[in-house]
Amino acid sequence: MKTAVVNPPFMNGRFSRTSRSPAINKSGTLYWPFWLAHGVGALERAGHEVLFLDCPAEGISGDNLLLRVTEYDPGLVVIDTSTPSIYSDLRIASMVKKALPSAAVLLVGTHVSALPEQSLRLAPSLDGVATGEYDATLVAAADQLQRNRDLSDVSGLVLSIDGEIRNTPPREMIEDLDSLPFLADVYRKHLNPENYFFAAARYPSVMTITSRGCPYRCSFCVWPQVMHRGKYRVRSPFHVSEEFGLFGEYFPQIQEIVIEDDTFSINNSRVEEVSEALIRNGNRIPWTANVRADLSLEAMRKMKAAGCRLIIVGYESGSQEILNSVSKGTTVEQNMEFAIRAHRARLLVHGCFMAGNPEENSVTLEDTFRMAIKLAPDTAQFFPVMAYPGTELYREYKELGYLRTGSFDRWITPGGLHDCVVDLPDLPSYKLVEWCDNARKRFYLRPSYLAYKAWQSVRHPFTEGRRTFKAFSTFRKHLFRRKNSSKQMEKSI
């Protein structure tokens, strides 16, 4: 069965749909479409022919996409979605369906998995949604269509049939992640590393995952709640190290591997085992991973010995009440101790901070900034809260009337940057955005930080210096942008 798998264009820019908070990023970051790539690999392993188009990465316009897909004439078209781009995604999918009426057009991604019926009612010509983890669902759908059979026998779908929405039985999630195709193989066949950029990593880099799901219950985190239903599964250490080897073989130009697990460090013992497997396999490629603040010093040192350069941690807030309100499961004290351990292990840290979670106020925001300075991460991001459909935070804020709008295209600005639609009782959305912009400037324009970055770039001009320059060249226009008055910002929002 000929299948087209598409990451559609949006806003004529480098819209990072796979990011946890999809947008056109100020740093120029563009994620690899690794979830789509796993679906592509599963389809090809099952014997199906696949046209894989990542439009934001390749600069493919809507018209060109339609032309290429129509010429390919697939029997199944799979189109990725996100919350801020959903109206555009539905429009493009409907155009594809109109051009290829005999093809089945299925939507995938977090937004349509959280709101399948609403999405299909907005685009009634489409065939359905493959909800949650969709690797096996796509294969089963392609198999059915190849046999000229009905999709209603395929688990994991929400179908639109003659104007009626029907749910097929839920699909069991994949237990053995080692059975998944290597992303390295899919990337080599279909994608170009130079098209992607992750601001915290050396350029060019690649992305992979070593696990799916997360046992923790952070109320704002969309992938574990919507795609994985909280179910945590892992790849074996040998399987991970084998793929690292393939990345080095296939892409000798890459400077870093980014492990984009929900949380790589759920289990310290597994972190050490993966690190030991990389050491045994002679890994020479630097890598980065998402971790929690309870990562042990022993595990950090193993990671460093295995080539880890940087760890990304969600500090989120300097207020323990805020951390408790989002069920983070960490403490402010743990955050401080984590930073000390990371320094002792000689690992760089990218710290993530949020504004606008439950119980937030001007005092807790300042607590967060003071903590960010004390933690002294190599880089930091300050984000206004993004409440996505399917998360506990979205449900909570919707019930409380804190969401300023129900129009999902307002989750980003007219220019495609992250926006905030959360109006807290004492902190309207424009003030949360304003605080993040100011915190970013206060953090990055400190003389001590500028001196540190200059020293780092001089010591490592072709790695850290190149990464910093590439990120800063995009980021500077936002960093030095003149601040609007509060009234102007409120009006624009």
The arithmetic mean of pLDDT across residues 131-137, rounded, is: 97
What's the confidence (pLDDT) of residue 489?
36
Whether 429 contacts 397, CB under 8 Å: no
Tell me if 80 sits within 8 A of 109, measured CB to CB.
yes
Per-residue pLDDT tens over the stretch 342-365 = 999 999 999 999 999 999 999 999
CA distance 89 to 85: 6
Question: What does the pLDDT read at residue 478?
Answer: 52
Weakest-pLDDT range from 124-133, 164-173, 371-380, 453-462 = 453-462
Work out the average pLDDT over 477-492: 44
Binning pLDDT at 50, 70 and 90, where does residue 398 land? very high
Give the Cα separation of 271 and 355 in Å (integer).
30
pLDDT confidence of residue 26: 85
Q: What are phi and psi of 346, to 5 degrees?
A: 60, 40
Q: What class, spelled out in words, does domain 198-492 have in CATH?
A: alpha beta
CA distance 493 to 485: 12
Best CA proximity match to 492, nearest among 434, 405, 403, 430: 430
Hey, what amino acid is at 150?
D
pLDDT at 330 over 90: yes
CATH of the domain spanning 2-167 = 3.40.50.2300
- The Cα 168–Cα 403 span in angstroms is 32
Extents of the domains making up the chain: 2-167, 198-492
Task: Give me the mean pLDDT over the 45-74 stretch.
Answer: 98
In this structure, of 41-45, 338-342, 435-439, 482-486, the range with the lowest mean pLDDT score is 482-486
Is 484 a residue whose pLDDT tops 80?
A: no
> What's the pLDDT tens digit per position in 207-225?
999 999 999 999 999 999 9
The reported pLDDT for the residue numbered 268 is 97
Q: What is the pLDDT of residues 226-247, one digit of tens each?
A: 999 889 999 999 999 999 999 9
Q: In terms of Cα–Cα distance, which of 60, 165, 76 is closest to 123?
A: 165
**Of 450, 418, 437, nearest to 481 (Cα)?**
437
